[in-house]
Copies of this chain bind each other. A is one copy, B any other.
Amino acid sequence: MSSPIIGVFDSGFGGLTVLRALLPLVPGAHYIYLGDTARLPYGSKSQTTIARYAVESARFLEERGSDLLVIACNTATALALPEIRAAVSVPVVGVIEPVVRAANLQHPSAEVLVLATTATVQSHAYLQHCEALGLRATEKACPLLVPLVEEGWIDHPVTRDVLRIYLEEALATCSPKAVLLGCTHYPLLAPLVETTLRELGSQAVVIDSAQATAAEVETHFPTSTPSSSDAATFECFATDSVEKFQRLGSLFLQHSIDQVQHLDLGG
């Protein structure tokens, strides 16, 4: 098999944490990342609008030759995965099922805590996926974490205080075996979430949707070159400011982004 082409889609930059997790697992691939930054946040929009936006983006990635699409966006996964799968002819991997399955593998039928944005919590997509596997889930909206990450305050005293408040509130109502990071911004906070849980006396394991999703994608490319080759190439598209994408994108990917192309998907 020649080098696979993997399309990765998010409404913004967060999905780059999934791309970062993918690079060592499927290192021989060519990656096309599309951030629909002009139309974010998806969370406040209707299901119909989100499905239309996500399908437009998915079709663009398929037309560019993608062999598989990763919907690295919780809102689009929660609200539009069936529409995206119907619109394209390549396999589509979302971010919710892999992390819920990973939690259930480690702690079958256990109590879990899902940290996510307000929009994702209101969709109850994690709750439904957890219940389908027999996991008991508590969902906790953490609206300040995305702006804190986007401010670059990854290991900052303020972020520690905010995380402690959110986790204290959540742990007052549940005793989870696993904490699921249900937003593609949150993998950058994974070490801080783990430290804070320990400080609060919880031994819950932190499960990162980026890692779980990347592992799921890896199963589609069993003949990929070994991780030492580091032969991946990638190109990035953004529907809004290319400069902001380069600056924030480098933070999320933890790798400099040399070139971002502007793409107009309409309004």
| Interfacial residues, chain A to chain B (CB-CB below 8 A) | 37-38, 40-41, 44-46, 49, 143-144, 146-148, 150-151, 157-158, 161-162, 165, 240-241, 267
User: Can you list 10 A-B pairs, Cβ within 8 angstroms, ordered by A?
Assistant: A38-B44, A40-B44, A44-B240, A143-B147, A143-B150, A144-B144, A144-B147, A147-B147, A158-B161, A267-B267
For A148, what are the chain B residues with a Cβ–Cβ distance below 8 Å?
144
For A151, what are the chain B residues with a Cβ–Cβ distance below 8 Å?
143-144
**Chain A interface main SS type:** helix
Q: How far is the CA of A37 from the CA of B119 in the complex (A)?
A: 14
| Interchain CB contact (< 8 A) of A49 among B49, B147, B162, B267 | B267
For A49, what are the chain B residues with a Cβ–Cβ distance below 8 Å?
267
Closest to A244 in B: B44
Q: How far is the CA of A8 from the CA of B81 in the complex (A)?
A: 38
Closest to A40 in B: B44
Closest to A240 in B: B44
For the complex of A and B, 4 pairs with smallest distance between CB atoms:
A147-B147, A158-B161, A144-B147, A44-B240
Closest to A157 in B: B161
For A46, what are the chain B residues with a Cβ–Cβ distance below 8 Å?
38
Closest to A147 in B: B147
Q: How far is the CA of A40 from the CA of B151 in the complex (A)?
A: 19
For A240, what are the chain B residues with a Cβ–Cβ distance below 8 Å?
44-45
- Return A145 CB to nearest CB of chain B, in Å: 9
Closest to A52 in B: B267
Q: How far is the CA of A211 from the CA of B240 in the complex (A)?
A: 34
For A241, what are the chain B residues with a Cβ–Cβ distance below 8 Å?
44
Q: A37-B44, A40-B44, A144-B151 are in contact. List 12 more A-B contacts (CB 8 A).
A: A38-B44, A38-B45, A38-B46, A44-B241, A45-B240, A143-B147, A143-B151, A144-B148, A146-B147, A158-B158, A158-B162, A158-B165
